[in-house]
A and B are shown apart, each in its own frame.
Chain A
Amino acid sequence: MTLLEVTGLSKSYGKQRSVDNISFVIEAGQCVALLGPNGAGKTTTLRMLAGLLPPSAGQISFNGSLPGTDYRKELGYLPQSPAMYRWMSGLEYVVFAAKLSGIPSREAAKVSAAALERVGLAAAGRRRIGGYSGGMKQRLGLAQALVHRPKLLLLDEPVSALDPIGRREVMELLREIRGETTVIFSTHVLHDAEEICDNVILMNQGTIAVQGELSELRQQYSLPVIRLSVETGSAAAGWLESLALKPFIQASQISGGKAVFNVADVALARRAILQEAVGLNIPLLHFEAGSSTLEDLFMKVVGS
């Protein structure tokens, strides 16, 4: 079932086009990562989806309704740096958010306590938000976005500003949440997207560079590669340069004792390189034969 259909969405500020004619479809229950470097237009796209910014052109249809229908009731939104009232307690804030989403008072108290429990803030619920850590604030932000059981959850860089522990906590939560509702989250870290999402939309300079299922993209863009690194400061660097000229190597990237070779035939290349390394007594540190990752795709798309 299609939950969200976006056609020809654009946003321009003066002459600058921040988001340029993007179209995509999101099915109910999917977890989609909006991936791209800073300034790719991810936040602008999410804000347009959240109804905070009017699009310059294009249409958003939610759950089969006519474009332009107000669907904010079905939406949970967490901005990049959520500014919740510092003078409120965590529980008060979630109750406030629940009531504003149209939940009656008595039920709001119940679902808010459950939402706080859910994100692991039950014990800190009575404390003022001003005293929360970054990770706690982000989890509270998730609680207020989830409390009214939205059909669509929009998260803008939910883990980018967190330390490793806070990041871990939020990622674990996201992994649970994605089973319950449709999630779109933006990130500039590919690893985060790979960890919890099955679909990606890769944006660059306001346009969609690539979109699709992660597994398909992985297959489509995987090339046989060999990565190796050698001890620096030895004659091995010269050897890497000489390898790049071999016929079985199609393309190469060499820097500081590390090399990535795109090859036609992994088995052949592996045997040839290892034999040479042994023969020349090369101090190998690392050797890996396999396929290119999405990281390479990401770099290729963003770099071009």
Chain B
Amino acid sequence: MRKFWTLYSKEMLESLRSYRLVWIPVVFIILGIMQPLTTYYLPDILKASGDMPPGMLEGYEMPGAAAVMAQALGQYGTIGMLVLALAAMNSLAGERSSGSAELLMVKPIAPAVIIFAKWAAHLTVLFIALGLGAAAAGYYTVQLMGSLSVSDCLAAAGLYSLWLLSAVSLTLLFSAFMRGPAAAFLALLSAAGMSLLYSLLPSDFDWLPAALPDLSAGQLTEGSVAWFGPVLSAVLLILACIAGASMLMGRNKLPD
């Protein structure tokens, strides 16, 4: 346990010194506030661009606060996930190729502890980024559109973070035996694959973690959702990723 804390604080210190703990939350905050702002000011933006046929904007209806908040969280599914995967891709691959894993693995620690500490550090960064991003999005939505249920927002952000965490865990798994960029690519590809399956056959694959973004939006607009299947499959996927990464790390610890 003490060794876990040692490794975890090392990971957090690295996140801080490499400014990962700063720029990822900043990206998330910007992504989060863009949605309510652009939605609210869309008529003005269009007007300012000129050449608007008269009557065009009459049909524009301001969406509800819950819908805007759901769209704001939806922003994290693409750029947010890309940013997280890019930040996580070298966490094992980099240590291995630079040779610092060699120095680490010669200490009396189980590979699982190393992986778990890394995973926990990525989880922390993800929580901070998504927490701040969702809070900023929520603040602007409430200011510009109307009131939101705090508990629904928390539940929606929680469901979304589980989906993002699945992608980060996949990156970690691939990073245990591949080069960093390949790991990020494969992790994003598998996340995209799951999303595609879910969007093509929603009724057959509504238990996939890829259903989580929809659930998160549903939580905001409808108030309650059947979350059990996707949450369970996401948790299992994450556990499998950690276990797999630990096994592979034990085998691939020397620089290639």
With contacts A73-B108, A87-B18 taken as known, whether A144 is within 8 angstroms of B103 at the C-beta atoms is yes
Q: What residues of A have a CB within 8 angstroms of the CB of B14 in the complex? A: 85, 87
Task: List 15 other contacts, CB 8 Å, given A99-B3, A102-B3.
Answer: A72-B106, A79-B102, A82-B103, A85-B14, A87-B13, A87-B14, A87-B18, A88-B10, A96-B10, A99-B6, A100-B7, A100-B109, A101-B108, A102-B108, A105-B2
**When A and B form their complex, what is the total count of cross-chain residue pairs whose Cβ atoms lie within 8 Å?**
61
Q: Which residues of A contact B18 (CB under 8 A)?
A: 87
* Residues of B close to A73: CB separation below 8 A: 108
The tally of residues in B whose CB lies under 8 Å from a CB in A reads 22
In the complex the two chains form, is B3's CB within 8 Å of A83's CB?
Answer: no
Q: Given A81-B99, A83-B98, A87-B14, do A52 and B109 touch, yes or no (CB 8 Å)?
A: no
The closest CB in chain A to the CB of B98 belongs to A83
Does residue A77 face the partner (Cβ distance < 8 Å to B)? yes
Q: Are A83 and B6 in contact (CB under 8 A)?
A: no
Complexed CA–CA distance, A53 and B102 (Å)? 10
In angstroms, Cα B103 to Cα A84, docked, is 8
Given contacts A47-B254, A87-B17, contact A100 B104 (CB under 8 A): yes
Closest to B7 in A: A100
What is the bound-complex CA distance between A100 and B18, given in angstroms? 22
Task: With A77-B103, A77-B106, A81-B99 as known contacts, state yes or no: A52 contacts B254, CB within 8 Å.
Answer: yes
Nearest chain B CB to A81 CB, angstrom units? 6
- CB-defined contacts of A47 to chain B, threshold 8 Å: 254
**B161 CB, min distance to chain A CBs, angstroms:** 27
Checking B2, B100, B108 against A85 with a beta-carbon cut-off of 8 angstroms, the contacting residue is: B100
A72 (CB) vs chain B CBs: closest residue: B108
Least Cβ–Cβ distance between B165 and chain A, in angstroms: 25
Tell which of B99, B102, B107 touches A100, judged by Cβ atoms closer than 8 Å. Answer: B107
Does A3 make an interface contact (CB < 8 A)? no
Instruction: Closest B residue to A154 by CB, please name it.
Output: B106
Smallest CB-CB separation from B16: which chain A residue?
A: A87
A104 to B3, CA, bound (A): 10
Kindly supply a per-residue 1/0 record for chain A positions 59-74, scoring 1 wherever the CB is within 8 Å of any chain B CB and 0 otherwise. Answer: 0000000000010110
**Contact indicator B17/A101 (Cβ below 8 Å):** no
In the bound complex, residues from chain B placing their C-beta under 8 Å from that of A97 are: 103, 107
Known contacts A52-B105, A72-B107, A87-B18; A100 and B6 CB within 8 A of each other: yes
**A interface majority secondary structure:** loop
- B10 — which chain A residues lie within 8 A by C-beta? 85, 88, 96
Q: Report which B residues bind A (CB closer than 8 A).
A: 2-3, 6-7, 10, 13-14, 17-18, 98-100, 102-109, 253-254
Residues of A within 8 A of B109 (CB): 100
A51 within 8 A of B: yes
Instruction: Report the Cα distance A50→B106, complex, angstroms.
Output: 6
Q: Does A75 contact B (CB under 8 A)?
A: yes
- Would you give the shortest CB distance from A144 to chain B, in whole angstroms? 7
- The answer to whether B103 touches A51, judged by C-beta atoms less than 8 angstroms apart, is no
**Residue of B with least CB distance to A53:** B254
Can you name 30 A-B residue pairings with CB atoms under 8 Å?
A51-B106, A52-B106, A52-B254, A70-B108, A72-B106, A72-B108, A73-B108, A77-B106, A79-B102, A79-B103, A83-B98, A83-B100, A84-B100, A84-B103, A87-B14, A87-B17, A88-B10, A88-B13, A96-B6, A96-B10, A97-B103, A99-B2, A99-B3, A100-B3, A100-B104, A100-B107, A101-B108, A102-B3, A105-B2, A144-B103
> Which residue from B7, B99, B108, B253 sits with its C-beta under 8 Å from A83?
B99
- A52–B13 Cα distance when bound, in Å, is 26
Q: Which residues of A contact B108 (CB under 8 A)?
A: 70, 72-73, 100-102
Q: State the CA gap A144–B18 with chains docked (Å).
A: 23
Complex CA gap A97/B105 in Å reads: 11
Residues of B near A50 (CB, < 8 A) are 106
Docked complex Cα distance between A123 and B48 (Å): 62
List the A side residues contacting B100 at CB < 8 Å: 83-85
Residues of A within 8 A of B7 (CB): 100
Q: A25 → chain B, closest Cβ, in Å? A: 22
A105 to B6 CA separation, bound complex (whole angstroms): 9
The residue of chain A having its C-beta at the shortest distance from the C-beta of B103 within the complex is: A82
Closest to B104 in A: A100
Q: How far is the CB of B112 from chain A (nearest CB, A)?
A: 14
For A54, give the chain B residue with the smallest CB separation.
B251
